[in-house]
Structure 1
Amino acid sequence: MRLVIRNGTVLTSTGALSADVVVEGEQVTALAARDSGLTDAWQQNADRVLDATGKYVLPGGIDVHTHMEMPFGGTESHDTFETGTRAAAWGGTTTIIDFAVQTKGTSLLSTLDKWHAKADGNCAIDYGFHMIVSDVNDTTLKEMDACVEAGVNSFKMFMAYPGVLYSTDGEIVQAMYRAAGNGAMIMMHAENGIAIDQLVAQALANGRTEPLQHGITRPPELEGEATHRAIRLAGVTGAPLYIVHLSASQALDAVTAARDEGRNVFAETCPQYLYLSLEDLGRPGFEGAKYVCSPPLRPAEHQRDLWRGLRTNDLSIVATDHCPFCFKDQKELGRDDFSKIPNGLPGVEHRMDLIHQGVVAGELSLARWVEVTSTTPARMFGLYPRKGTIAPGSDADIVVYDPQARQTLSAATHHMNVDYSVYEGMEITGRVETVLSRGRVVLEGGEFHGSRGHGRFLERELCQYLS
């Protein structure tokens, strides 16, 4: 099938082009300047023509940090691979990379098999996996090599959640040495979990049980300290390091210093840290529970630094850390103890729109919007040029985006499988109009045309940024 997208402005990480796009089957086969006349001939033999007049035509978004069907604190994130990937498509994201969670006493390879079983035949868009390493031993270290051979070459570790996911500095060093040898990327949840647990215990002992305490007991200084420590451990071992969900100015300072030294240190932030703040955790009653995530939302002054970090490339990527728990029956588990509130927010559907607001506000250029939401994620995690660009030979993962449309974000209209929105009532400019996943129109005119099982597992190459 041949499909031609005409009269739009094609956006890539290098700029904008008035061009038409030709798709044959699952791939882009040609781009042509609008005044070249080449598309006229292609259009005559096209099965379908999409008119993108006044619209942006950009590569589908890649969200490299999601948690579908993730167990946490006796419950499980509420989006399945089916509902979560469908919601992602509604928001212009055409690829996710989810986390397979090793639990203590299990192997990495059995964990990977378990996550394949969850996702296989259920995803509406393409997907890959990272591995969460929580049990460092000789078997785990050997299996890291096997995971790399299977196209899963990024391993997340935790300096938080003692007794559950936490790794000691010694265990982190062991895994980092392994990654330095096999070319994998170490991803780090950088918060000082030992100190945090002490602060949590003190707050509860003093009768402070409200959701706001989640933010107060996880201060930005402890994210900054852990980020600095992770960077130094990576420096000792020679491993590349990717800091996930960076939220605090102190952590950004550590990343910036490392990058200025020429180190292979990278970081992502998330929309919630750009738009929400500690004040949301302090909403009246138990409403603040809706905003509990880790690291926590920070005082609003951190937002300015995060936007700057995106502009300067000290923050390389915007992902979501999409981990939705319903308010009713899930967030309510911590009504009398903030430490029992499941940590996570819904967001996979709104990432592209929210970062476009940075363009509207003059924080980012159009090219940088594409770069942090699609192209850099593809390069960082071994998917480029198959994903992350519109070019001959790339997968036809394409979004037609109306930059003038207005919409109001709400739980009443979103498609994530969760009963609230952290952006309830937020008015924004821009809307996804049409989405192609590998050449198939999966969303158009406010209707979903995709299907469960369309998405394929992606075996990934190594990071393209390592020096």
Structure 2
Amino acid sequence: MDISIKDGTIVTANDMFRADIGIRNGKIASIGHDITGMENIDASGKYILPGVIEIQSHFEAAFGNTRSIDNFFKGTQTAACGGVTTIFDTVIPKSDESLLEAIKNRRQLLDAQAAIDYSLHLCLPEAQENFLSEIPQVLNEGLPSFEAFLCSHAAELVHQDSSLLELMETISKAGGLLMVHCGNQALLQQASQRYPLEDPLAMTHYPQLCTPQSEAEAVYRLMMLAHSTPCTLHLNHLSTRESLTQALQHHPLQSRIYTGTDLHYLTHNENVYKQPDARNYTVLPPLRSQADQTCLWKGIQAGTIQTLSSNHWPFTREQKKLGEDLASIPAGFANLELLLPMLYHQGVRSRHIDLMQLVAVLSTNPARIFGLSHKGSIAVGKDADLVIFNPLLKKTLSSSNLHSESDFCLYEGQELQGYPEMTLSRGRIVCDNGKFTGEQGAGQFIARSI
């Protein structure tokens, strides 16, 4: 064996057991006992987890007149140091690009910079005939997942029902999956005009950009369309009890409807918009109530929420001062490096979920839903994307000891117990005790089918 990881507790979505793992040529070659390799890593007292799959990250991503602060190399460094071994980026074609040209241009950036493996979602601004006709070719390129917005700071990305239905039908015929961002664009625009930033209390009204009712209404509308076309859907960033309830009420659709939420909806609530630094917490959908948090934790526990992402969209404090109205304040923050350790600390240690449920929402379910057949689990033949996780390791969080270029941290000063010690990407050690050890450009594009 090239590498042996010895005496750790292997955790999958269905089981936990002590064993060694043998790695050869970037793959898991054996699981058992008394396995030795050219390099032997002692994992006694630690968990061995599948590498995390981040389904929504935004590197070098435009927001209004600015861009997220992490480039692809820095972003994938950040990912690796948090136990993330595969990321998804989003391609939004420019007006003068075909879909295939947009994919090629984005891949050139990622191929040169990505330190871990990656794949892509394709966001279609509207159901233009030239875009629709290219969708089968996009699937042939190994990209079966698409994105659509019902509510966004960028109005040009928002679909009306007729456009959305046409897109769903085309993707369904091609055998793809559509990820949908739910909300109501008219209500977002109304709230943004109603509460001007000149008002000292404007930030307290930030949740009005996308209320729980408007998110739930969008889910209901989407479910009505889903009854008329057999498109597989993933509902992104669900944040409220009402929207999750709407999604679960349509039992005939459950075999092709997946739901996901984000880390920050489990850890923060809407009271932050009353704080002096409220702009640091802007995100769409906005942060919600404690009751919504409780419902989301129960959804992960019950398996009715299948995926969890960081929705990493990092900005600096100066960038957060931008924006002419509530909707144009850069929405998002650096969250990627803390996705795994924070879910362990707040979820597993607080007994909201168990370790196997953590593995399910961070690794196994994303791999299954999005067609990453060689990732997401610990089994012979899978890629050796692994995390050695120390449940006793403590870390006090600060933007200064994390790897993103963002200069603030949502969890500043908080002490975590449980943190990744080592991350392996296809058998290569890319992070060792908090130090990035990977290489720029070593990540590979992953073609998929679902």
**Range into which the TM-score falls when normalised by the shorter chain:** over 0.9
- 2:284 counterpart of 1:294: yes
SS where residue 211 of structure 1 aligns?
Answer: helix
* Mapped contact 1:211–1:292 kept (Cα < 8 A): no
Aligned amino acid, residue 419 of structure 2: R
The one of 162, 167, 171 equivalent to 1:179 is 171
* Mapped contact 2:420–2:433 kept (Cα < 8 A): no
* Mapped contact 1:60–1:388 kept (Cα < 8 A): yes
Distance 2:9 2:209 in 1: 47
- 2:113 counterpart of 1:134: no
* Shift of residue 209, structure 1, vs aligned partner: 6.6
The one of 342, 360, 364 equivalent to 1:354 is 342
Give the corresponding residue for 1:449. Answer: 437
- 2:14 counterpart of 1:24: no
Aligned runs of 1:41-440 on 2, under 5 Å?
A: 42-43=35-36, 46-104=37-95, 106-161=97-152, 163-204=155-196, 207=199, 210-259=202-251, 262-284=254-276, 287-328=277-318, 330-334=319-323, 337-357=325-345, 358-384=347-373, 386-440=374-428
The change in CA–CA distance for 1:205 and 1:376 in structure 2 (over 3 A counts) is: closer
* Shift of residue 261, structure 1, vs aligned partner: 5.5
* Mapped contact 1:103–1:134 kept (Cα < 8 A): no
* Shift of residue 446, structure 1, vs aligned partner: 3.0
The change in CA–CA distance for 1:132 and 1:209 in structure 2 (over 3 A counts) is: farther
The change in CA–CA distance for 1:208 and 1:142 in structure 2 (over 3 A counts) is: farther
* Shift of residue 422, structure 1, vs aligned partner: 1.1
Distance 2:128 2:406 in 1: 37
TM-score (norm. length: structure 1): 0.93
SS where residue 151 of structure 2 aligns?
Answer: coil
Distance 2:192 2:254 in 1: 37
* Mapped contact 2:188–2:327 kept (Cα < 8 A): no
* Mapped contact 2:82–2:338 kept (Cα < 8 A): yes
Distance 2:49 2:429 in 1: 14
SS where residue 425 of structure 1 aligns?
Answer: coil
What per-residue deviation string (whole Å, max 9, x for no partner) do you get for residues 176-223 of structure 1? 001111110010000011222122212229946733322123211100
**Percent of paired sites with the same residue:** 32
What per-residue deviation string (whole Å, max 9, x for no partner) do you get for residues 9-56 of structure 1? 001111101111000121010000x4xxxx2xx42xx21000001000
* Mapped contact 1:104–1:135 kept (Cα < 8 A): no
Distance 2:195 2:436 in 1: 47
Aligned amino acid, residue 189 of structure 2: D
Distance 1:354 1:215 in 2: 24
User: Unmatched 5+ residue regions in structure 2?
Assistant: none
* Shift of residue 164, structure 1, vs aligned partner: 2.2
* Shift of residue 96, structure 1, vs aligned partner: 0.4
Aligned amino acid, residue 364 of structure 1: I
Aligned amino acid, residue 218 of structure 2: A
* Shift of residue 339, structure 1, vs aligned partner: 2.8
Give the corresponding residue for 1:465. Answer: none
What per-residue deviation string (whole Å, max 9, x for no partner) do you get for residues 138-168 of structure 1? 1111111111110111110010136321111
* Shift of residue 103, structure 1, vs aligned partner: 4.1
* Shift of residue 370, structure 1, vs aligned partner: 0.5
TM-score (norm. length: structure 2): 0.96
SS where residue 228 of structure 2 aligns?
Answer: helix
User: Unmatched 5+ residue regions in structure 1?
Assistant: 463-467
RMSD: 1.6
Aligned amino acid, residue 84 of structure 2: T
Q: Which moved more, 1:57-66 or 1:211-220?
A: 211-220
* Mapped contact 2:192–2:325 kept (Cα < 8 A): no
* Mapped contact 2:196–2:202 kept (Cα < 8 A): no
SS where residue 19 of structure 1 aligns?
Answer: strand
Distance 1:259 1:63 in 2: 28
SS where residue 262 of structure 1 aligns?
Answer: helix
SS where residue 180 of structure 1 aligns?
Answer: helix
Give the corresponding residue for 1:11. Answer: 11
Q: Which moved more, 1:227-236 or 1:79-88?
A: 227-236
SS where residue 443 of structure 1 aligns?
Answer: strand
Aligned amino acid, residue 119 of structure 1: L
